[in-house]
Amino acid sequence: MMTGMGVAAIVSSLSLPAIAFFEVVWVIGMAAMMFPAMIPMVLFYNKVKTKLETNPTLARVAGTPLFLAGYLVTYALLGIGAYLTVYAALSLSSMVPPLIGLSLVAPSAVLVAAGVYQFSSLKNRCLSQCISPFGFFATRSRTGLTGAFRMGFSHGTFCVGCCWAFMLVMLAVGAMSIPIMAALAGVIALEKVVVKGSVWFNRAVGLALVSFGILVAFVPNVLASV
């Protein structure tokens, strides 16, 4: 219930200021959560890819920020989708009071769904594009400033495909709390940078999420201590 109240406070209306505030908080949260996994790609572009450009200096000064901006745009688009989905769910539950009871099982369902996604082929395909900067740039390299943005957006799309379930957990279960973001950032960093997509790690995380989701279903108050 505390989680639901937290999300309701963040997703308050369809006014531009409310959406803009959410987007700022969301993008900052996403960037912070994804930073350990995202920084190797940005550094690879800045230190290696820019040397292959016609104007390396311009590529470093302008291309690197554009590459990073491509990432942030994918997070912003996902944020808009998340905001509208949560707002629609909250509005529907207010119009149909019996649906309010579903808010009690929503955190559990989200955790279980995130755990199951760890075993999916889509997760593995997206993750395979996120663990090797060299591999990504070798197959999806673009030139120029527009190319920098397109590469950032492309890789950001793979990051979203790989980690959207973690992001959903952050919103629906953690209500965008700093401890939850820190924990998920650690998992993402281990997954992409340390174990580099290891099957056993993915399955261990999946089983942990499913188990925690089942625990939350029977002991909802456990979230109050997180």
Q: What is the DSSP string of 164-203?
A: HHHHHHHHHTTTT-HHHHHHHHHHHHIIIIIS-S-HHHHH
For residue 58, what pLDDT is reported?
93
Closest CA to 176 of 14, 29, 17, 24: 29
Over the chain (226 residues), what is each successive 10-residue block's mean pLDDT? Answer: 54 85 86 81 91 91 94 92 84 71 76 94 89 84 92 92 88 71 85 85 94 87 67
Helices (H), ranges, the chain: 2-10, 16-47, 56-58, 64-95, 106-117, 121-128, 133-140, 144-172, 178-189, 199-218
Cα–Cα distance between 154 and 70 in angstroms, integer?
Answer: 8
- Residue 129: its pLDDT value, please? 85
pLDDT at residue 87, rounded to an integer: 85
The whole-number pLDDT of residue 6 equals 55
What distance, in Å, lies between the first and last C-alpha atoms of the chain? 13
Q: What pLDDT shows up at residue 203?
A: 92
